[in-house]
Amino acid sequence: MEELSSFSIGRPEILWASLLILPALLFVIIRIKKIERSLFYARKQKSSASLKFSLFMRTFLRCLSWLFAVLAFAEISFGSKKVPVHKSGSNVSFVFDISYSMLAKDAPSRLSRLDAVKIYAKSLIENFPEASFSAVLAKGDGFVAISETEDKNAMLNLIDNLSPKLMTSGGSSLAKGIEAALTSIPQHSEKSQYIWIFTDGDETDNLLVKSMEKAQKFGVPVSIVGFGSENESEVIAGDGKTRVKTALRAKKMKEICEEANEKTRALNHSGKNQAIYVSSTSSGSAWLLLGQIKKSPKDGEEKALGYEIQNVKRHGFFIFFSIVFLLLSFVAGELNISKRKKLAAILAASLLLTSCKSEKKQILEGSWAWYEGKYTSATAKFLKLAQKSEENSIAHKYAVFDLSATYLSMGENEAAFDRLTELNPDNKTLPPEFRSAAYYNTGIILTRKNDYKNAAENFKKAILADSKNLNAKINLELCERELVQKQANSAQAQMQGINEDKQQNPEMSNEIFELIREQEGKKWQNMSESNENKDDVLDY
């Protein structure tokens, strides 16, 4: 299921009809020349100018009318919408995490996580209802190992041979596994689609939320099945020598499912959670998964209702403008010089107003790019508007704020902080909601720096600027709790230090601390040197 293009042309061959404008223009130009010569010889230059302008305006507007009519019949589409469709049958994409962390032997009966996956997946296949399935391998990349099929033997054979050595890409990317599963789904499939992920949740790229959002926008529910223990275990990475700590990230997986459901709540027509997390060891987890699959309806039964992303055809939009320009062509031909001047003035004013709205348009385009996660595109749009708009204009302020918010989403905290400082939210002339948002984002950046004291001050200012800012109130409470906890820890550390000083030699303590500091320095130096000789991510 490939992502739909934001712009498409259903019948591009129709666009050749727009070339008919050229002979029409040539005919009108020849006709104007003949009329101009006839009126010149009759010494009616004023009538010639009036007629020439009328013919020009009428021809120009009719050319536009024809062009929009051609675009309408070319079936141009842009934008997308979610439409209800009837589904018959089901297909499940099994996404197997085969990263090296799955070799940790912390599953029941001292099995490795991957061996537990094999047993669990086989039991699902053996009890699989009348539905098709496919298999995707996920490691540092995603790979469709088995396309849609009903051959259980092929699936069982793949499961028996699951191993990290099946893929050479390093790391663990569950997101790319979902992307591969989506690409394997045919466009406008009549079957209800499901994705089941078998993993310990120990991913290395942290892109799972976005891929789950994408799946849910296509109406494909994602279920995560967790394997392993939540206690840390040690495994050897793909380089054969590096030892890393790994565990079942159950809490993280639950939070990711909740976040994905929250972000796609408006698209969830079924009213049920599209993303769920279940533990492989919990009672009835396998039956919960199998219960999701809807069997093909029998004769006379109603098909299941699903949803599909489809492009929005804009033929009505183009037909409307085609008719408008055609009607204007008749009006323009009947206007005298003075009325045409008024018409020209109105058109000029409308163009001016349109140009004034271009700043709002850029902000909207940038905001939409930010919402889609296209942060580079959003940054370019906001940066361009910030540079060309007047420094004290409201458009400049919004552009700078949106730019800082985009930097914040990208993790560029310093760049975001610099932009927020440039805004000067203390300026009382700015709208209260704007100032509150600026203070709030500043507080978020300071929280990431563990500067809870100054973060709390900014959250307070955000609340004073706009008392309805609930997020600021929540984060202020969290910051105050962190400050109280730090004070308690500091007092406890001081008391412990006093007791230790009574029992230990101060000079000996200093030597021990120096030794620890030296060992830590060597440890970090060795880690940085070893990382320089590796790929971008550690293969585990």
DSSP string, 264-308: TGGG-TTSS-SEEEEETTSTTHHHHHHHHPPPPPPTTSPPEEEEE
Residues 347-369: b if buried by 16+ CB within 10 A, e if exposed: eeeeeeeeeeeebeebbeebbeb
Of 276, 159, 281, the C-alpha closest to 228 is: 281
Contacts of 202 (CB under 8 A, 6+ apart): 99, 101, 172, 246, 247, 248, 249, 540
Per-residue pLDDT, averaged over 421-449, amounts to 85
Q: Which residue has 């489809």 as its token pair? A: 310
Q: What is the pLDDT of residue 523?
A: 46
Tell me, rounded to whole angstroms, the distance of Cα 136 from its chain centroid: 22
C-alpha triplet 407, 409, 415: angle, nearest 5°: 20
Q: Model confidence at 450, in pLDDT bands (50, 70, 90)?
A: confident
Q: Model confidence at 495, in pLDDT bands (50, 70, 90)?
A: low
Cα separation, 326 vs 114, in Å, equals: 68
DSSP 196-232: EEEE----SS--HHHHHHHHHHTT--EEEEE-S-SS-
Per-residue pLDDT, averaged over 502-515, amounts to 52
Q: Model confidence at 36, in pLDDT bands (50, 70, 90)?
A: low
C-alpha distances (whole Å) from 338 to each of 172, 327, 331, 341, 345 are 73, 20, 14, 5, 11
C-alpha triplet 530, 535, 540: angle, nearest 5°: 85
- Over residues 213-250, the pLDDT tens digits come to 888 877 788 999 999 999 988 998 888 888 889 999 99
Highest mean pLDDT among 308-322, 339-353, 510-524: 308-322
pLDDT above 50: residue 524:
no
pLDDT above 50: residue 127:
yes
Q: What is the pLDDT of residue 159?
A: 92
User: Alpha helix (H) ranges present in 357-431?
Assistant: 358-371, 375-388, 394-409, 413-423
- Over residues 372-395, the pLDDT tens digits come to 677 787 788 788 877 777 777 777
Cα separation, 459 vs 471, in Å, equals: 9
* Percentage of the residues of the chain whose pLDDT score is greater than 70: 72
Cα separation, 118 vs 121, in Å, equals: 5
Better pLDDT: 208 or 10 = 208
Cα separation, 500 vs 504, in Å, equals: 6
196, β-bridge pairs: 94, 223
Q: What is the pLDDT of residue 337?
A: 44
| Secondary structure in 3-state letters for 86-152 | EECCEEEEEEEECCHHHHCCCEHHHECHHHHHHHHHHHHHHCCCCCEEEEEEECCCEEEEEEEECCH
Q: What is the pLDDT of residue 137?
A: 93
Q: Model confidence at 533, in pLDDT bands (50, 70, 90)?
A: very low
* Percentage of the residues of the chain whose pLDDT score is greater than 90: 13
Q: What is the pLDDT of residue 86?
A: 47
Q: Model confidence at 45, in pLDDT bands (50, 70, 90)?
A: very low
Cα separation, 336 vs 397, in Å, equals: 46
Q: What is the pLDDT of residue 189?
A: 65
Cα separation, 540 vs 513, in Å, equals: 33
Cα separation, 131 vs 371, in Å, equals: 36
Better pLDDT: 307 or 492 = 492
Q: Model confidence at 538, in pLDDT bands (50, 70, 90)?
A: low
Cα separation, 509 vs 501, in Å, equals: 9
In contact, 196 and 225? CB cutoff 8 Å: yes
Q: Model confidence at 290, in pLDDT bands (50, 70, 90)?
A: confident
Round the average pLDDT of the chain to a whole number and report it.
76
- Over residues 147-178, the pLDDT tens digits come to 888 888 888 999 999 999 888 888 888 999 99
243, β-bridge pairs: 236
